[in-house]
Amino acid sequence: SVTPIRPPRTGVAHPCFETVPVNTVGVKCGENLVQVEVKQDLFGIGQLIQPAHLTLGGCAAVGEDVEAQRLIFESELQGCGSKLEMVEDAFIYTFYLLYKPINFAMTNVHFSPCRKLNVSSNALKPTWTFFADSKLVEEQLYFSLKLMTDDWQIERASSQYFLGDLIRMEASILQYHHVPLRVFVESCVATLVPDINSKPRYSFIENDGCLVDAALMGTSSQFLPRSQDHKLQIQLETFIFKQQYAEMDLIYITCHHLKATAASSPTYAEGKACSFVNGWWSADGDDQVCGCCDTTCTMRRARAISIHAAVLGPISIQ
């Protein structure tokens, strides 16, 4: 919630120092900017604060509505000392309103980017909302999984392959105005029908991003070194499916748990892309995160944003 914290008590108790919800802060959320509007009667006690005494994370007000007695602040989502918290299906940016007269007070403003950043040309129309309890507005993330041409430039038109061909898959996330993202694939299986629980099935990515096929079968299947954070390229040998199950002429590949993390965050054991080529190595260059691929990687979900599943198929292997 957005609840101003009053200056600390000094001496005798005074009723105006009681912390009560007040409707004095409004947030206007855009695709890459936030505007915060604050009533100068910040604590709802009939006393106006001085504009110079209030900042948004150290950034001064960019405007003042004298008639309405309001201060206006504006910042990029990653500006003015904001902090990013990642929870499932949402980014939460936290800004601090700093009130520094003789005494000091602080209040938190919590919000996340506006919902559903549309691919169409329709303009986003943010609205002002004054509130006592803040509302988290989730941003929709768009993942994709595609079969790609040999040069990785465009999506492959055909899903028919021959033994000896390489299957090139690309997982990606559309990069809008939110914080730069890095995409990962936790697990993938091949099945004869589009049902991840059906049998027979062949699991070739598991353990939170370990491509185990090369380690088990000695193939050249691997994650390619990452060139763009929001894309992850996977190269598979077709014969591995035939080698496992002769009847795998027509397969479906299901990658469940596509996920994204902030690109600025370090990779970790539960967010990695590891291949086996004379030892485990990472597509992101930090091979130490692959140390658990031969055992079990500890579960830790707090850093991931949005868990998604995707299915490719039917894919024909002749």
Percent of the chain with pLDDT over 70: 72
Calpha distance 56→99 (Å, rounded): 9
Residue 262: the pLDDT is 79
Average pLDDT over residues 292-310: 69
Number of Cβ within a 10 Å radius of residue 85: 13
Residue 175: the pLDDT is 67
What is the chain's mean pLDDT, rounded? 76
Between these two residues, 139 and 70, which has the higher pLDDT value? 70
Residue 1: the pLDDT is 30
Highest mean pLDDT among 51-65, 122-136, 176-190, 241-255: 51-65
Average pLDDT over residues 178-189: 86
Q: How confident is the model at residue 290 (pLDDT cuts 50, 70, 90)?
A: very high
Calpha distance 264→270 (Å, rounded): 16
Residue 87: the pLDDT is 65
Between these two residues, 33 and 222, which has the higher pLDDT value? 222
Residue 269: the pLDDT is 63
For residue 310, the cross-strand partners are 255
Residue 78: the pLDDT is 80
Average pLDDT over residues 53-81: 89
Helices (H) and strands (E) in the chain, counts: 2, 21
Task: Write out the H or E segment, with its range, that includes residue 236.
Answer: strand 231-237
Residue 22: the pLDDT is 52
CA-based torsion, 263, 267, 268, 269: positive or negative: positive
- Strand 70-76 versus strand 160-161 pairing type: unpaired
pTM score, two decimals? 0.59
Number of Cβ within a 10 Å radius of residue 139: 20
Q: How confident is the model at residue 135 (pLDDT cuts 50, 70, 90)?
A: very low
Of 45-54, 196-205, 244-253, least confident by mean pLDDT is 244-253
Domains of the chain (ranges; CATH) run 15-131 (2.60.40.3210), 143-317 (2.60.40.4100)
